[in-house]
Structure 1
Amino acid sequence: MRRPPHRRPAAAALVLAAVLALSACSSSDDAGGGRAGGPSKAAGPSRSAAVPDRQAEAEPPGPTPSISRGPVVPDAELKPVTGSFTQDQKAYLSGRVPKDTDPAAVLQTGQESCQRLERTAKRDKDAAVGAIIAGDIRDAEAAITHLCTAQKPLLATAKTGFPDGTTKTPRAGTYRALTTDPACAWRALDADGKVLASGPSPGDDGPVKAGIPARTAEFVSSSCYAWLPA
């Protein structure tokens, strides 16, 4: 009798496909722990451990820039389909709504930024301030100024710091990095490029701190996320 064709490889392929599909679903569920509907965005290694995961709290991409670079809806035409905007909402939307874009959708982006700030600040104010400094929350300054004024203390604190990277002529003083990343490192340079100070020193424990001398022309850091006065 002729034996039936060997079908184990096909069955194995089906099992493998099912496993991969389940893994993808699981990964998607894990990434969606924050606001629903936002696509994933990988978290950088320089983030503070207290800052919400970018993947879970990611801002949605779309046609809503901080300030539209193209034609915008005139202020007189900033009207929702139903109801009306408050004066503060109109102030937030002014110059921010691209042509052929629903103003209510742009407003929602600002309101969601406020919600992120409020949630983060309840857990860790440093994390919320760091997110403002690093630019992780879209239009944070405008949203706080017009839509969630109770968060103005966070904005005031954020303005005393600066983000990771290169900062020209920083104010002299001692600063602390808003990160737990062991790779965080920094150096302060004078106008000729000479290193005035650098860190962290071997054996340093706790949060990384940087002493910026008065003659510093450029402060450079990496994997430090953001800096605030210590």
Structure 2
Amino acid sequence: MRNPFLAGAAVIVTAAALAACGSSADGNGPEAAGAQRSAASGPAVPGASADPSTTTPSAEQPKKPAEPEEVMPAGPSAPGGTAAGPKTPSDEITPATGTFTKKQKEYLEDRVPRGMDPAAVLQTGQETCDKLRYLVKADRDTAVGAIATDEIPDAAAAVAGLCPQHQDLVDEAAYAYPDGAHTGKKLRPGVYRSASPTTDCSWQITGAGEKELSSGRSGTGTSRKITIPKSARVFTSTGCYAWLPEGANG
């Protein structure tokens, strides 16, 4: 025989389910509650089943406000000359072991965020020098282009402080043109060659009134030479990586 108590409990459960459906229509159902579901459930009734479907509905429990997510404090900025925030004073820049050379100290000055190991910043600069040394052996034009395009960021500071033998690369990159549009005083008349161009390398030089002075494409991926005249107003390059000066331009 069916237990009358269980039958009565089933009626109560059905009523609770209907009440839950009604509340979900106004945005208070489980889907709308989201992360607040556990906070809004209220304390459990002593002796009651842990299954909410068997709990007798009672007066609505006041909902607790959702606790804000814990925000972890930001750590020190990444190594590099562009790191924001307060820097370690130069007289406090000391390695955990050993000593820094005079050149190393000059490179690290105003570059070490507070709380960061200065050796980590120094290592970043040394890695920049290592990259340049490798690229020069493989292809010098690519090394100059990597500086001009900022593919190797902060190269000028690293070279000046840690590997001055590569200063000629930095000097040449200062007169180079990475892909993009260049106008006004940034334009320097002269002959330029493309460094590491792709097979989609194209360029255009325009003068006053947007009159086209010259343009071209290189579908072979081989280096090309162009001349930027004094009358140039805009020089645009795409897929050519960088244009390096021929001789003493500028």
TM range (shorter): 0.5 to 0.7
Alpha-carbon separation, structure 1, partners of 2:160 and 2:106:
9
User: 2:188 corresponds to which residue?
Assistant: 171
The yes-or-no answer on 1:155 pairing with 2:170 is: yes
The yes-or-no answer on 1:192 pairing with 2:206 is: no
Opposite residue 78 of structure 1, the aligned amino acid is: I
Bigger drift between 99-108 and 129-138 goes to 129-138
Alpha-carbon separation, structure 1, partners of 2:104 and 2:222:
42
User: 1:183 corresponds to which residue?
Assistant: 200
8 Å contact from structure 1 (residues 73, 97) kept in 2: yes
Alignment of 1:106-185 (within 5 A): 106-169=121-184, 170-185=187-202
User: 2:225 corresponds to which residue?
Assistant: 209
Alpha-carbon separation, structure 1, partners of 2:197 and 2:240:
8
1:227 corresponds, among 243, 246, 250, to: 243
Change over 3 Å in CA distance of 1:204–1:212 after alignment to 2: farther
User: 1:32 corresponds to which residue?
Assistant: none
Alpha-carbon separation, structure 2, partners of 1:128 and 1:96:
24
8 Å contact from structure 1 (residues 185, 200) kept in 2: yes
8 Å contact from structure 1 (residues 200, 208) kept in 2: no
Opposite residue 153 of structure 2, the aligned amino acid is: R
- CA RMSD in angstroms comes to 2.0
Alpha-carbon separation, structure 2, partners of 1:96 and 1:228:
30
After superposition, give the CA deviation of every residue in 1:125-176 in whole Å (9 maximum; x if it has no partner): 1111111111111311001101001111222222221211122231112211
Give the 3-state SS of the residue equivalent to 2:240 in structure 1: coil
Sequence identity, in percent?
Answer: 43
After superposition, give the CA deviation of every residue in 1:90-116 in whole Å (9 maximum; x if it has no partner): 111111111211110000000011011
Query: Which protein has the larger Cα radius of gyration, Structure 1 or Structure 2?
Result: 2
TM-score, with normalisation over the residues of structure 2?
0.62
TM-score, with normalisation over the residues of structure 1?
0.67
Opposite residue 110 of structure 1, the aligned amino acid is: G
Alpha-carbon separation, structure 2, partners of 1:155 and 1:208:
22
Structure 2 residue runs without a partner (length 5+)? 1-76
Opposite residue 166 of structure 1, the aligned amino acid is: A
Aligned-residue offset at 1:189: 2.2
Alpha-carbon separation, structure 2, partners of 1:205 and 1:70:
43
Give the 3-state SS of the residue equivalent to 1:116 in structure 2: helix
Alignment of 1:37-48 (within 5 A): none
> Which protein, 1 or 2, shows the higher relative CO under an 8 Å CA cutoff with sep ≥ 6?
1
8 Å contact from structure 2 (residues 196, 221) kept in 1: no
